[in-house]
Structure 1
Amino acid sequence: MRSMNTVGAGQNGETRPGPSPTTEDNGPESLRKQAQELIDEILADTSPEHLPARNRLLDCISNHPGKPEAALLEHLMNRPATSGPSTKQPEN
Structure 2
Amino acid sequence: MSPETVIGIAERGVYITLMVSAPLLLLALIVGLIVSIFQATTQIQEQTLAFIPKIVAVLVGLIFFGPWMLSQLLMFANEIFTNLNRFVG
**Higher relative contact order (Cα pairs below 8 Å, separated by 6+ residues):** 2
Query: Given the two structures, how large is their TM-score scaled by the length of structure 2?
Result: 0.35
Relative to total residues, which structure has the larger strand share, 1 or 2? 1
